[in-house]
Amino acid sequence: MKKVVYLIWISCIAMGASSCLKAGLDKDLPKFKDAMMTDVFMEYLYESPGSGGSPVVRAVSMSLSGKQFKKKEDSGAASDSAIFIVTVPAASGSFTTEERAKVTTANLSFMCNISTAATMVPVDGAPKPGVPGDFSQARRYRITAADGSSREWVVRIVNFIK
Q: Residue 105 falls within a domain, yes or no?
A: yes
Domain that holds residue 113: 29-161
pLDDT tens sequence across 12-40 = 565 555 556 555 556 666 789 999 999 99
The number of residues making up the chain comes to 162
How many Å apart are CA 156 and CA 136, to the nearest integer? 8
CB distance 123 to 78 below 8 Å: no
Query: Does residue 1 sit within a domain?
Result: no
Our count of domains for the chain comes to 1
Going by C-alpha positions, the residue among 113, 116, 91 that lies closest to residue 40 is 113
pTM of the complete model: 0.80
Tell me if residue 38 falls in helix, strand or coil. strand
Looking at residue 142, which CATH number applies to its domain? 2.60.40.4120
Q: How far apart are CA 82 and CA 158, in angstroms?
A: 10
Q: What is the pLDDT of residues 134-160, one digit of tens each?
A: 999 999 999 999 999 999 999 999 999
